[in-house]
């Protein structure tokens, strides 16, 4: 199990302000509006696999990734399957919808993907107060939520209507521009909405077709044009 008992957090208002003012959400606000938030922030350092929160938790904290990355996912089918909703990197928000959406419990789990991953923890109540009272911040948060919603919609459509080969091709084109270390098949499966066995099969198939090169989990795209065709940048 991930270490959950003992966590280290530390304040650092200067770095917090730096991070806040460079994030897409809070960047639009005047430093004066951000200073009180920065003073309340606590940095927390995680290792790969460490749990940020669990589905069902009542969140009183908003997280802003400082370095590393955080994977947000749901566990379904009685725990037999996982679906990764998104992976957030530096300057991105985690748990935005939960914190602002009333006091509903979190709908997903969040764990660190890398060692180290550092997040800035902000108390929800203060964030809300500050955001609602600052038009520029309110606008930015609303825009961020709207964008996230559009992403979810695209993801929904992809998962429901396109088949595995297409989704994998999209992934490869998005992530493997340069030679790239492939995540474990179980992670890929969670991302693509399937199971590790099928990821293995499809990768093998792409390899046999000469579309990619596979060497000890390093992939390289060989036939970008064909992959894009498979990815469904097709004209029907």
Site residues, a copy of itself (CB under 8 A): 74, 76-79, 81, 83, 85, 96-98, 100-102, 104, 107-108, 128, 131-133, 135-136, 138-139, 141-143, 145-150, 152-157, 159-161, 193, 236
CA distance 37 to 58: 21
CA distance 23 to 207: 39
CA distance 80 to 195: 10
Which residue in the set 216, 225, 235, 236 belongs to the binding site for DNA (CB under 7 A)? 216
Nearest residue (CB) to DNA, 147 versus 217: 217
CA distance 121 to 119: 6
Work out what residue 78 binds among a copy of itself, DNA, none; the CB cut-off runs from 5 to 8 Å by kind: a copy of itself
DSSP 3-state assignment of 158? helix
CA 33 to chain centre: 27
Nearest residue (CB) to DNA, 198 versus 222: 198
Of 2-10, 20-28, 56-64, 214-222: span binding DNA (CB under 7 A): 214-222
Of 1-9, 37-45, 62-70, 158-166: span binding DNA (CB under 7 A): 158-166
DSSP 3-state assignment of 173? helix
CA distance 226 to 212: 10
- The residues of the shown chain that bind DNA, judged by CB under 7 A, are 77, 80-81, 163-165, 184-186, 193-201, 203-204, 214, 216-217
């Amino acid at each position: 199990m991930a270490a959950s008992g003992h966590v280290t957090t530390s304040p650092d208002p200067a770095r917090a302000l730096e991070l806040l003012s460079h994030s897409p959400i809070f960047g639009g606000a005047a430093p004066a509006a951000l200073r009180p938030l920065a003073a309340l922030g606590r940095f927390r350092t995680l290792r790969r696999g460490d749990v940020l929160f669990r589905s069902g938790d009542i969140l009183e904290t908003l997280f802003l990734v400082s370095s590393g990355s955080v994977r947000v996912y749901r566990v379904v089918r009685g725990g037999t399957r996982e679906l990764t909703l998104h992976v957030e990197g530096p300057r991105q928000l985690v748990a935005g919808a939960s914190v602002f959406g009333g006091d509903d419990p979190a709908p997903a789990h969040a764990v660190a993907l890398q060692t180290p991953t550092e997040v800035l923890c902000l108390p929800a109540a203060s964030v809300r107060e500050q955001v609602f009272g600052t038009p520029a911040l309110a606008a930015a948060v609303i825009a961020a939520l709207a964008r996230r919603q559009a992403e979810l919609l695209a993801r929904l459509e992809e998962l429901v209507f396109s088949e595995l080969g297409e989704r994998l091709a999209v992934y490869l084109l998005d992530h493997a521009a340069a030679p790239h270390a492939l995540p474990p098949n179980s992670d890929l499966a969670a991302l693509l909405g399937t199971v590790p066995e099928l990821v293995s099969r499809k990768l093998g198939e792409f390899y046999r077709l000469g579309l990619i090169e596979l060497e000890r989990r390093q992939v390289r795209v060989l036939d970008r044009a064909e992959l894009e065709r498979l990815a469904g940048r097709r004209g029907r």
